[in-house]
Amino acid sequence: MISGKNLSLSFGGQTLFDSVSFNINTGDKIGLIGRNGSGKTTLFSLLNSEFKPDSGQLSLPKGYSIGYVKQQIVFTENTVLGEGCLGLRPDERYNEWQVEKLLSGLGFSDEDMYREPMEMSGGYQVRLNLTKVLAYEPNILLLDEPTNYLDIRSARWLMNFLKSWPNELVIISHDRHFMDSITNHTMAIHRQKIRKLRGSSIDMATKITEEEELHEKTRLNKEKKDEKTRLFINTFRSKANIASLVQSRIKALERSEKITKLDQIQTLDFSFNEAPFHAKAMMHVKNLYFKYAEESPFLIRKFNLTVEKNDRICVIGKNGIGKSTLLKLLAGFLKPSEGSVSYHDNTQKGFFGQTNIATLNPEHTIEEELLSCDKINNRETIRTICGTMMFSGDAALKKISVLSGGEKSRVLLAKILLSPSNLLLLDEPTHHLDIESCDVLVEAIESFGGASIIVTHNESFLHLLAKKLIVFNEKGVSVFLGSYQEFLDKNKWE
């Protein structure tokens, strides 16, 4: 059992944990939730002994091993399989088949296993680090957004693998479906405290909401009662015949415990800036072919698509197969090798891509970055948009260089809001967002009156949003007319 007692920790004047206590018991599979910046990854760092709390005690059983996937890439073997086998315990060092099974499940082909690890993409290198941790079978597994580098097939494989994981584990994930399918407990970091219950992330969110509503109701009732007591004291203070009763009320008022009003927690709250569109079709894709180099094979072949007003289209398929490339073609950032992408004159596009984070100027403040868009120069409007993205007041003056991944993603979303659009092109918009922010994003997309095309492997998103699918597989790319559930009913992922 892992036990944390009265742990406190602050960074840069911000309190993350205020005398928190928790236990992780044998067999616990825990979903760790909390808003971005609340301390989820920091708690992992505490458990992994990367640093110590300011006060309190964290105790682990003797010889208890912790598995944590490192983002740093340091490989010493000349093949993927050889590097993966480094994760095996000494008494299992000849069990290559175990590593082959893990690599295959995480999307490595037979040919990949004999490639140089440093030849693989960054996403596959992180998967290789995950393979090494899984192969070791530590006493507790700490997974921080494990699906960020996985496609749907690999995420589903990992979900099923973790369901049968024999030891303890703690997962941070913005994908509620993935996390709740694996875990039997939820632990929440909320208002600098940590709380735990048996149940899902939805159960936890419901309980917190109910308790805070009860707290506020109790506080208001007490204020009314105290006000009546003060009125009684002020009215009868001069009455000698009931002086003892007045004094009794005064002492009771002094002894009564004050119920403080809970600070309002800042939440993401926005809707996309919708441009009017009255025609039926806003985009036509005809016989689209694309390859990056003349000598390369075509990544996209003979693709056709008509995008109509109100379409909600999700793009699915393995990583590295062309999904993001297609979105850039549709957005006009890449030119087709053959075929055409044409737009209605009134089509106005809003594009979000993870690679766009690199386009943010690290020396700009958030406010300056938004002002640099040349789409609007009204500082009051900029500050309003900053507020909707949880950068109120002085937070809008933070430099891009100090922002977390989630904060940078919100800056990118803010840039989309600066100009009206009727066609949203979103590439993995949930990366780096917490669960609550993902929920707000779903609501914003659902209420958007234009069309949207979204690349995502988040199955919660797919079930909620998709009305059509663009499907990438080994046979090419095609359009499926129907919901994600209808697609699953008619097709099976390999």
3-state helix, strand, coil in the chain (%, to 5): 40, 25, 35
Task: Return the structure tokens found at 425.
Answer: 């092109």
**Structure-derived torsion over alpha carbons of residues 459, 461, 465, 466, reported in degrees to the nearest 10:** -30
Contact 281, 307 (CB under 8 A): yes
Walking along the chain (494 residues) 10 residues at a time, the average pLDDT comes out as 93 87 96 90 92 92 91 86 94 91 94 93 89 95 92 92 96 93 96 95 94 93 90 84 85 86 81 92 96 90 95 92 93 94 95 80 91 73 86 89 84 88 93 86 93 93 94 91 92 64
- Gap between the Cα atoms of 171 and 28, Å rounded: 11
Residue matched to tokens 């016989």: 287
Q: So what's the pLDDT on residue 45?
A: 92
Domain 2-203 has CATH 3.40.50.300: yes
pLDDT of 492: 64
Question: How is the chain split into domains, by residue range?
Answer: 2-203, 210-237+251-256, 268-348+420-494, 357-415
As a whole number of angstroms, the distance between CA 188 and CA 40 comes to 9
d(CA 270, CA 441): 8
pTM value? 0.85
CA distance 67 to 143: 8
Just give the CATH number of 268-348+420-494. 3.40.50.300
pLDDT at 375: 59
Position 374 scores a pLDDT of 58
User: What tokens were used for 473?
Assistant: 């597989």
- The alpha carbon dihedral of 28, 32, 38, 44 has a sign of positive
Q: Where are the beta strands (DSSP E) in 291-438?
A: 300-308, 312-316, 338-343, 349-352, 423-427
- If we measure between CA atoms, which residue out of 468, 473, 464 comes closest to residue 283? 468
Q: In which region does residue 327 sit, left (phi positive, over 0), alpha (psi from -120 to 50) or beta (all else)?
A: alpha
Domains 2-203 and 268-348+420-494 share a fold: yes
